[in-house]
Amino acid sequence: MESIKDQMDLGMMDLNQATFYVGEGGFTGLRYKGEDYKHIVLRRIMPIDQPLHYISVADQENKEICILKAVADLPQDQRDIVERELDSRYYSPEVLDLMSVKDKLGYVYMEMRLRNKQGKEYDKSCAVKDVSRNIRMLSNNSVIIFDVDGNRYVVSDLGALNKQSLRRLDAYLF
């Protein structure tokens, strides 16, 4: 019997044969091994621990074309394309401040100060249902919040949150 390592063929991307591009319609495409995939789907295999490593590249039928091991291995222009596509898919603004957290009839209403990937800051109100499922610790130091509309908000460093915000959020962290 072969060992696992002998058998492994993960379909890793051959960088020499891959070119990411943005098509006329604004969709990200990939030219790979002689094929032109005009609209690809990029998915993080480990979105939390390794957001820029192990990116699954699939076609519109969700058939995996290959796996990109590290975004950093790409030339800068293609790297920007991939990162923009990933940011767009995994849109989850950073929570900077929790101005108010109120528990009413099974819903938690939050007023937050957020910052998106482009560095723009804005205020947002949202409602969270079933807090044990929708406010989750990602690691010892980071939290993800899902609101009733399906939006995701991330606190990537609990230590960086101000004391009042931390106190307001603390009751829901398990």
Partner 1 sequence: MNEKGGTRRGSPREGEEVSQIKEPVPGYMKTAFQANGVAADKLIYAIHTDLTLEGDFSDVYVAVDNTHLHILYGLEEVVKVEGARRIVAQYTTHKAEAYPLIDIGELKTEKLLSTCRLISVVGETSEDNDDTSKDDNARKKLLMIFSLGLMGYVDRLIKVVKNIREGVDPMREVIVEDTLFCPKCATRYPEPDRKLCPKCTDKMSIFFRLLSFFRFYTGKVAAVFVVVLAITGLSILAPYVGTRMFVDEVLSPDGQWYRMVGTIVLFFMGIRLLNTGFEMLQGVVVGKIMPWIIYDLQMRIFEAMQRLSVGFYTSKRTGALMNRVSRDARNIYWFFVDGLPFIIINVATFIGVFIVMLLMEWRLALICISIIPALWLMYRLIMHVYRRYHHKFWVINSQMNNMVSDAVNGQRVIKAFAREGEEANRFANLGSKQVEVDVARNNLGFTAFPAIGMFRFLGQVVVTVVGGMMVINGEISLGMLLVFLSYLQMLAGPINFLATVSNWWARCMDAAQRVFEVVDAHADIVEPENPIHLPEMKGEIAVRDVWFQYDPATPVLKGMSLDVPAGQTLGIVGKTGAGKSTLANLIARLYDVNEGSVHVDGVDVKQLSLTELRTNIGIVSQEIYLFIGSIIENIRYARPEATLEEVIWAAKMASAHDFIVTLPDGYETRVGAGGQELSGGERQRLSIARTIIQNPKILILDEATAAMDTETESKIQTALNKLQTGRTTIAIAHRLSTLKDADMLAVINEGKVVETGTHEDLMRKKGEYHKLYSIQMEGLKVISMD
Chain contacts with partner 1 (rule: CB under 8 A): 1-5, 7-11, 43-50, 54, 56, 58, 62, 64, 67, 132-133, 136, 152
Q: How far is the CB of 69 from partner 1 (least distance, A)?
A: 9
Q: How far is the CB of 110 from partner 1 (least distance, A)?
A: 20
DSSP 36-95: EESS-EEEESSTTT-TTEEEEEE-TT--EEEEEEEGGGS-HHHHHHHHHHHHHHT--PEE
CA 11 to chain centre: 22
> Please, are residues 86 and 77 in contact by the beta-carbon 8 Å criterion?
no
CB of 54 to partner 1, least distance (A): 7
Nearer to partner 1, 47 or 166 (CB): 47
Distance between CA atoms of 33 and 30, rounded to whole angstroms? 10
Minimum distance of partner 1 from residue 68's CB (angstroms): 12
Q: Which is nearer to partner 1, 113 or 154 (CB)?
A: 154
CA–CA dist 82, 40 (Å, integer): 11
Identity of the residue, 19 or 56, whose beta carbon is nearer to partner 1 in the bound complex: 56
- Smallest gap from residue 6 Cβ to partner 1 (A): 11
Of 146, 143, 174, the residue nearest 161 (C-alpha): 143
